[in-house]
Structure 1
Amino acid sequence: MTSDTDIDSSETPATSNRQGIGSLELGLKILDTIAQSPKPVSLKTLSQQLDLSPSRLYKYLVSLMRTDYIVQDTSNCYSLAEASLTLGVAALRRIDPIQLTFQAVDILNDSRDVTSSVTIWNGHAPLVIKWLDASQPVSVNVRLGIELSPFFSVSGRIFLANLPENRMQEIVDSFYQAPPALPRHKGKTMQRESFYAHLQEIKKQNYCCFYGDYLPDINVMGSAIYDINGNVSSVVSIMGLAGDIDVSPGSAYHQALMECTNQVTDKICGQR
């Protein structure tokens, strides 16, 4: 069983020259475990999860109840209380999703040396709000402030796939009444039903890619960042010459992109 001490002597690279209070850290760990539970959790379950004796654990629970961070229900299980909710709301108010996205894309662009962009949905189409060239820029007619097609861009399809069903159908059905050209994927054109299936797969995988579908010899892939309500906050896309960037699932570029968007989604408490 874990024992609590007032002083934490454990060292990590970030804390090796600083002394912390072990009992405080343990109390916060208990609170975090309760917060992550999908339903009120019992003393026995907490004891098992935290490897703490029930008697020692109960002392922490009493303190957390006294400070209104947790509450005990009629079945003697524990869940978050008002002070925890106040703390969570205060943290959410301080989150800047776009700034965090920009920082993550800066790192992605620098580490992979790949042309990168961030788009947001302006109500009817994706809008490019950040554009970073690679050391060897690709020749495309896309820059900061450009509005992209919902049908002929990676980010557009990701936004479409995540819109409310009625709104998505409205946009798609209107487009297919008189399409200027049919959307393509992997070189094949898509009729309406095929395009709907394509959007469903994009939403499921949180990933869309073009294999030179619209720009010869240029591959593009994108992934969404989700907000706390499960809506798309923004889409991160990367592109490069087909011989330089592999956009297939499982590739190094795919993994780097997904790591970028997943990390930002986690930081802003996003839900999928």
Structure 2
Amino acid sequence: MNLPNRNSTRAGIQSVEVGFALLAALGEAPGPLMLKDLARAAGMSGAKAHRYLVSFQRLRLVVQDLASTRYDLGPAALKLGLASLERLDAVKLARERAAALVEAMGHTVALAVWGNRGPTIVHWEESPGAVTVNLRLGDVMPLLSSATGRCFAAYAPQEAIAPMVAEELESARKQRRADVPRTQAQVRELLRDVRERRAARVVDTLLPGIVGFCVPVFDADAHMALGVVALGPSGAFDSSWGGAVERPLQAAARQLSADLGFRG
């Protein structure tokens, strides 16, 4: 038996919900809007929109430029937005959605943040059929041989990670590894590719037989707040770009970024 959604059946004030469409349209617009354009974006008549805008101006949620007559979000809207952003916890928000992402992809999901020693795993959500992976909460990921590390390295200030990169390059040269960069030029090319794809991938690089994707989540200041990681066995894991794993992973990261205030 399917129970109705409590939020959908709970009584509310319809006029508030209708009026909010105007605020949402202003929030999504690249700049101030004329009344006719704002009304069209909110799906209502100009006269109806104007009545709501009069009230919103009194509340300072909306302001109107007298010279151009265009409407824009006001100081009260900004204050509410900033208060909301200050209370957002990126990891908490991502953890709440990790189980659904595991179900959608059928693979283990991890969350990572930049810690004192580098990209650090802070949450682990295993899929029911997960293979054993020798990673634990608190593990710090290498920058060049892990998808997580590559993703963070692509968006970190390069001077901040330079010593770590140099150390890993030296280790790769000594081990004569062909699956990771061995020169600074190769590192720059790799990180450029990560930024272009907005994703990092490794296949049998960090762990034998394991494929990993990592996508970045950005905050309102366009800083990488965390990495969302998908891991799975190479035989049952779609490692293709835009495939069955990367596509939902990217969609989840985009939604998280938007919810954190990122407008890039």
Please confirm whether the aligned pair reaches a TM-score higher than 0.5, indicating the same fold: yes
Q: TM-score, structure 2 length as denominator?
A: 0.86
Q: TM-score, structure 1 length as denominator?
A: 0.84
Q: Does the 8 A contact of 2:105 with 2:244 survive in 1?
A: no
What amino acid does structure 1 have at the position aligned with 2:41?
Q
Partner of residue 208, structure 1 = 200
Structure 1 pair 136–52 and aligned structure 2 pair: CA distance change class (3 A): closer
Structure 1 distance, partners of 2:62, 2:44, is: 18
For the residue of structure 1 that corresponds to 2:186, the secondary structure is helix
- Where do 1:85-234 residues align within 5 Å? 85-169=78-162, 171-172=164-165, 174-175=166-167, 179-181=170-172, 187=179, 189-234=181-226
For the residue of structure 2 that corresponds to 1:269, the secondary structure is coil
Structure 1 distance, partners of 2:176, 2:108, is: 22
Q: Does the 8 A contact of 1:104 with 1:264 survive in 2?
A: no
What's the offset of the Cα at 1:113? 3.5
What's the offset of the Cα at 1:142? 1.4
What's the offset of the Cα at 1:166? 3.7
Partner of residue 69, structure 2 = 76
Q: Does the 8 A contact of 1:158 with 1:208 survive in 2?
A: yes
Structure 1 pair 189–80 and aligned structure 2 pair: CA distance change class (3 A): closer
RMSD over equivalenced CA pairs, Å: 2.7
Structure 2 residue runs of 5 or longer lacking an equivalent are none
Structure 1 pair 186–227 and aligned structure 2 pair: CA distance change class (3 A): farther
Structure 2 distance, partners of 1:264, 1:99, is: 11
Q: Residue deviations 1:226-259, cap 9 Å, x none?
A: 1111111111112111111012112111122122
**Pick aligned residue for 1:43 from 23, 35, 49:** 35
Percent of counterpart pairs with the same letter?
Answer: 26
Q: Does the 8 A contact of 1:186 with 1:210 survive in 2?
A: no
Q: Does the 8 A contact of 2:121 with 2:139 survive in 1?
A: yes
- Total equivalences in the alignment: 259
Structure 1 distance, partners of 2:103, 2:54, is: 49
Structure 2 distance, partners of 1:99, 1:16, is: 25
Structure 2 distance, partners of 1:260, 1:184, is: 37
What's the offset of the Cα at 1:221? 1.1
- Where do 1:54-69 residues align within 5 Å? 54-69=46-61
Structure 1 distance, partners of 2:95, 2:176, is: 30
Structure whose residues are more often helix by fraction: 2
- Please say which of residues 105-114 and 260-269 is displaced more in the overlay: 105-114
